[in-house]
Amino acid sequence: MNCCAPKSKYLRIVSWCGLLLIGLVGLFGLLMMAGCREVPVDRLYAIHLDHMPTDHDWDDALPRLVTVRGGYRNVPSKLGDIDEDTVHTSTPSCHHGAALPDPLDVDMRAFYTDDELFVRLSWVDPTRDDEMRQWLYDGESWTASADSEDGFGLMWDAEGRFPRFSCSYACHIDDFGVSGANFHARNRMRLDRTDALVDLWHWKAGRTGRSGFVDDRYLDEKGMKGDLPGELFRPNSAAVLEGKEPFSDADRPLYDYESEPVSSDLLLAGTVAPGYLVEKPSGGRADISSISRYQNGAWTVILKRKLKTADWHDTAFLPGDEVGVSFGLSIMDNTLDQHYASSTEEKLVLLSRETVMDRSRQ
């Protein structure tokens, strides 16, 4: 008797050979692909589609729960102060600050077409933080909030140089700190070897999510860099960095969330303005687009990138490569530095159409 009975286009229920595994959501969808044999627990599988994935496709996709630990979670009763210096303490899980007892599970799913990869990440977050350093006008003066933003980083072993790859390989080797707007200047994140690089996809809920892209970067022994050099984010007020009054005549113009200048005649009490202005990326830094949604206390972000780009820093994703590409995941919750991070080896495998057809017949 065949131990697998069909359930939907992508999933199968296992009666005997996988009964003990049904409770493991990350493995449940993978049982069909393995013909009811034991499946590695560190694989995110992508199936080929002849169209962009629909909501129905995502609902039926093969899920992989990636557990991240060691970060700081922002909840309404406990707001972090990002303006206070935070010094990095290196640990195997690459966390900053005190470890929390509860890990965070991130639901990851993936598809690919003939030339594009789609990855969806979903995770619970009780607070929506996408208004980093937002300015508020009270009728007389401007005040910037201390808020940061939610975010995540996906790190890929682009060249297959790291055994048992995880976040710890791309951890902060030097001392690390953050102070106000000087985050980038004090960033010491780098690799401890000179013969490799790590492909980094950096999603920021406010600064990139609102604009529909992911910052395409990489890490080497010299630090973290954009695939195309240059700064994409600049403070709305330059004067405040020098300790001067923000948005005075010498600091104009003030820009709104549409990057349009705001006339002083239109300023009413309660007017808000973004803390940072965002320049859309170009060239190799614009390879990854995103669709972001915060709903019912959770983030869902869908990423799209070509399987192979023209940028030599980028990971190439090959359908049918059973080894796959190793990746690490970190989640930021209203912070720039105290992130949750995966510590186990994870791989993305793009199953060939032939493999899916063969195994679906078993």
Evaluate the CA torsion angle 75, 136, 213, 200 in order and state its sign. negative
Do the bridges between strand 325-332 and strand 346-350 make them parallel or antiparallel, or are there none, so unpaired?
antiparallel
Per residue in 108-141, pLDDT (tens digit) is 999 999 999 999 999 999 999 999 999 999 999 8
Tokens 């990971």 — which residue? Answer: 315
Q: What is the dihedral of CA 73, 79, 81, 87, to 10 degrees?
A: -20
The reported pLDDT for the residue numbered 190 is 74
Structure tokens at 344: 């186990």
**Residue of 240, 214, 54 lying closest to 135 (CA atoms):** 240
Those residues whose C-beta lies under 8 Å from the C-beta of residue 249, and which sit 6 or more positions away, are: none
Cα within 13 Å of Cα(70), Cβ side: 20
Bond from prior residue into 253 cis (ω within 30 degrees of 0) = yes
Give the β-pairing of 43-48 and 325-332.
unpaired
Residue 98: band (very low, low, confident or very high) from pLDDT cuts 50, 70, 90? very low
Structure tokens at 232: 């994409």
Question: Under 8 Å CB-to-CB from 258, ≥6 apart: which residues?
Answer: none
Q: Which residue has the higher pLDDT, 10 or 306?
A: 306
CB atoms within 10 A of CB 190: 19
CATH number for 54-351 (one of 3.30.300.30, 2.60.40.1190, 3.40.1350.10, 3.40.190.170): it is: 2.60.40.1190
307: CB partners within 8 A, 6+ apart: 112, 115, 116, 117, 316, 317, 318, 319, 350
> Is the per-residue pLDDT at 27 higher than 80?
no
What pLDDT, on a 0 to 100 scale, did the predictor assign at position 281?
96
CA distances from 79 to 89, 145, 333 (A): 21, 12, 11
Instruction: Give the pLDDT band of residue 3 (cuts 50, 70, 90).
Output: very low
Task: Examine the pLDDT at 267 and tell me if it is beyond 80.
Answer: yes
Q: Tell me, what's the pLDDT at 254?
A: 87
Q: Which of 277, 293, 165 is nearest to 231 (CA)?
A: 277
Residue 24 has pLDDT above 60, yes or no: no
Count Cβ atoms below 10 Å from residue 9 Cβ, excluding itself. 12
Q: What is the mean pLDDT of residues 96-101?
A: 35
Residue 244, pLDDT above cutoff 70: yes
What pLDDT band is residue 95 in, cutting at 50, 70 and 90?
very low
Amino acid at residue number 20: L
Average pLDDT for 307-330: 95
**Encoded amino acid at 108, one letter:** M
Q: Which residues of 218-254 are buried (b: 16+ CB within 10 A; e: fewer)?
A: bbbeeebbbbbeeebbebbbeebeeeeebbeeebeeb
